[in-house]
Amino acid sequence: MSVGTRLENANPLIFQRTGERLQTAKDEDEDVADPIDDREIFDLIRSINDPEHPLSLEELNVVEQVRVRVDDQENTVGVEFTPTIPHCSMATLIGLSIKVKLLRSLPERFKIDVHITPGMHTSEDAVNKQLADKERVAAALENSQLLEVVNQCLISNARTS
């Protein structure tokens, strides 16, 4: 998928993917309450595609499990993401893709906050403010062109699924 003609970060550092979550006997037990945890959220977002590279957000270290905070009881999910370069123009799009993925996957009770990892982007506050404005997010998602780009990022990649 091409967004621009020139790549902003032509040679990104590639990180190793984590393995699959280990299944335990308890996971099969229907009587055990199973709250949504950090790993589950991370599994939802780690295979989102980067808008520029044929790599997942996990492989670019844009998302990490340690930057996911879920509180199932309080119905809150917080995700910090780290753009590969501090002036990345794709930061808002990446954040939007993470937000859309979680909005579509999680029960509606969850409040989803997506932020840039503090200090990791030159327009951190502006991007965070935009991502937190649900009215602008709603309007953006009514834009079919933008929605198409977001959906491309969310198409599950055979290598990472």
Binding site for another protein (CB under 8 A): 108-109, 111, 129, 132-136, 138-139, 142
**Strand partners for 56:** 49
Smallest CA-to-CA distance from 127 within 151, 98, 104 is with 98
Nearer to another protein, 75 or 160 (CB): 75
Closest separation in Å from C-beta 75 to another protein: 9
> Which amino acid appears at position 8 of this protein?
E
Closest separation in Å from C-beta 45 to another protein: 21
Contact 147, 155 (CB under 8 A): no
Contact 143, 149 (CB under 8 A): no
Nearer to another protein, 1 or 139 (CB): 139
Closest separation in Å from C-beta 46 to another protein: 27
